[in-house]
Amino acid sequence: MTKPYQNYIRQEVEGATKGKLVLLLYDGAIKFMRIAVLAMEEGKIPEAHNNIMKAQNIVYELMSSLNMDAGEISQNLLRLYDFMIWSLIEANKSKDKAKVESAISVMCELREAWKGVVEQEERGNSSIEAASKSINFAG
């Protein structure tokens, strides 16, 4: 028997646009980094390590999904993702929560920017759908 939350997440992912999937990845990375910071504060080193690794895996996934033909934006994102990976590796080695918090800050800014893109895309699609409904294709 599956739990309602798991069903909700599965449906959210299966029905998500590419833009929304990126938002979900950002949300996951932020969540794991925040858990890692709390674990460091509580001295739970294995838990901190595991959550940093989960966040790193998400950032690697974001890196691999970049369209490098898109130009300067992709290059800039790649540099930011690379910075986050470096911060997380260093944080994991030294158990320095400030480095994780730095990565969280960057990820939150990227998430907000991406959220704006997704919302703009959704408004554009709504406008197209509304316009197509008002056109009489029957003649």
- pLDDT value at position 107? 96
pLDDT in tens, 81-91: 999 999 999 99
Taking each helix axis from N to C end, the angle separating 97-134 and 18-41, rounded to the nearest 10 degrees, works out to 160
- pLDDT value at position 70? 83
Residue ranges of domains in the chain: 17-125
- pLDDT value at position 135? 41
Q: Looking at the domain 17-125, which fold is it?
A: Four Helix Bundle (Hemerythrin (Met), subunit A) (1.20.120)
Is residue 50 helix, strand or coil? helix
Q: Is the pLDDT assigned to residue 116 strictly greater than 70?
A: yes
Instruction: Give the mean pLDDT of 31-39.
Output: 98
Taking the whole predicted model, whether its pTM rises above 0.75 is answered as yes
Instruction: Give the mean pLDDT of 10-30.
Output: 80
